[in-house]
Amino acid sequence: MDRPNLKTTPLHALHVELGARMTAFAGYDMPVQYSLGVLKEHLHARAAAGLFDISHMGQIALRAKSGDGRDASRALERLVAVDMIGLAPGRLRYAFFTNVLGGIHDDLMVGNWGDHLVLVVNAARKEADEAHLRAQLGDECDVEQLDRALIALQGPEAEAALALLAPECTSMRFMDARTLTLMGAECIVMRSGYTGEDGFEISIPADFAGEIAEELIANPCVAPIGLGARDSLRLEAGLCLYGSDIDESTTPVEAGLSWAMQKVRRRRGAREGNFPGAEIILGQLEHGALRYRVGLRPEGRAPVRASAPIFAAEDAGVQIGKVTSGCFGPSFNAPIAMGYLPTALAVPGTTVFAELRGKRLPVGVAPLPFIESKYKRG
């Protein structure tokens, strides 16, 4: 059953064939869950391997008109609070576009391909990101949305499963990026992901995507996973969802993302500042922010979801924060959430109160991530 006016990814027919329950997401008809259901899909990705269709996301090539890749990196540094010049070819880095208030315009992954960069951006922001890049860097760089599929293969068995198609993937470390041939197609393979598990994100020419996805899920270790489990997996890993946990009004310091800002872009770094909102962000790095993103563990079993107001005491009158993401965490058999709290309360072990169905429920501040990452480093 096609929904009118929704875009489809190159894997749409496969989702329908697998009996996926579909939903509209960022203008695309996307699978929420398949026959296993959200809970089992989540647990399968942590125990074995899950395959996700993330083709709705944007893949944007940034190429300097000079032809020199370093000029593209230099140009991009004007828009992100992160070291791009120091990103070596064949490597990936997490970054964020900032705005003049120090807020986050989008978060993204940047890959260095030598003579150009490839930016993987959020689906809901890809048009805005393309416009931003053209407006700011259009004189110096060519900006091109790549029309390719994108899949993620995540979990402890992901490497073994991908190695059947591309044995060279076993020598890749976390945040490596390589061009590998899978079933005759030239693919961009990145050892990265959004689950906290080891795994890969793979950019595939659209025409080959179905074949490669089917080959991967033919492996009994690999199950197709929908957006429902994608959300609970990333929340357990403490990862932000743009539009929920981070947005134009949250600074990277408040969001707990300053780890991604290398020294060279900070005060007294060789390329200090020179990105939108730099003074505000660098000021917060020096003096602290007024609020911080924290992990939250509600008492009991009831999930506490995004937009739930938070209070400092059970009978307090003034709302002091809010939940920005929340769900049931299958790995814990308990609810988990994230939100922003004033600095003094943003300390693990503190108890605050979320309002749920007219009642105040105690919620413990917890360190992030909820689950330790399993990246293949070094």
Q: Which residues contact another protein by CB under 8 A?
A: 21, 32-33, 37-40, 228, 232, 301-303, 305, 327-328, 335, 357
Nearer of residues 269 and 309 to another protein, judged by Cβ: 309
- Our CB check for another protein shows the closer of 307 and 343 to be 307
Min dist CB 325 to another protein, Å, is 12
d(C-alpha 165, C-alpha 175), whole Å: 20
Q: How far is the CB of 186 from another protein (least distance, A)?
A: 37
Distances, alpha carbon 66 to alpha carbons 51, 60, 63, 267, 358, in Å: 38, 18, 8, 30, 60
Of the pair 274, 307, the CB lying nearest another protein is at 307
Helices and strands in the chain, H and E counts: 8, 19
Residue (118 or 327) nearer to another protein, CB: 327
User: What gap in Å lies between CA 127 and CA 189, rounded to an integer?
Assistant: 24
Report the C-alpha gap between 239 and 245 in whole angstroms.
Answer: 9
Minimum separation from the CB atom of position 39 to another protein (A): 4
Q: Which is nearer to another protein, 39 or 264 (CB)?
A: 39
Cα gap 277→268, rounded to integer Å:
17
User: Smallest gap, in angstroms, from Cβ of residue 124 to another protein?
Assistant: 18
Provide, rounded to whole angstroms, the least separation between the CB of residue 77 and another protein: 39
Across the strands, what pairs with 33?
A: 21
- Residue closest to 139 by CA, chosen among 88, 51, 66, 193: 66
DSSP conformational letter for 344: G
**3-class DSSP assignment, residue 312:** coil
Q: Kindly state the smallest distance separating residue 14's Cβ from another protein, in Å.
A: 21
Q: For residue 145, give the nearest of 207, 203, 58, 208 by alpha carbon.
A: 58
Our CB check for another protein shows the closer of 232 and 251 to be 232
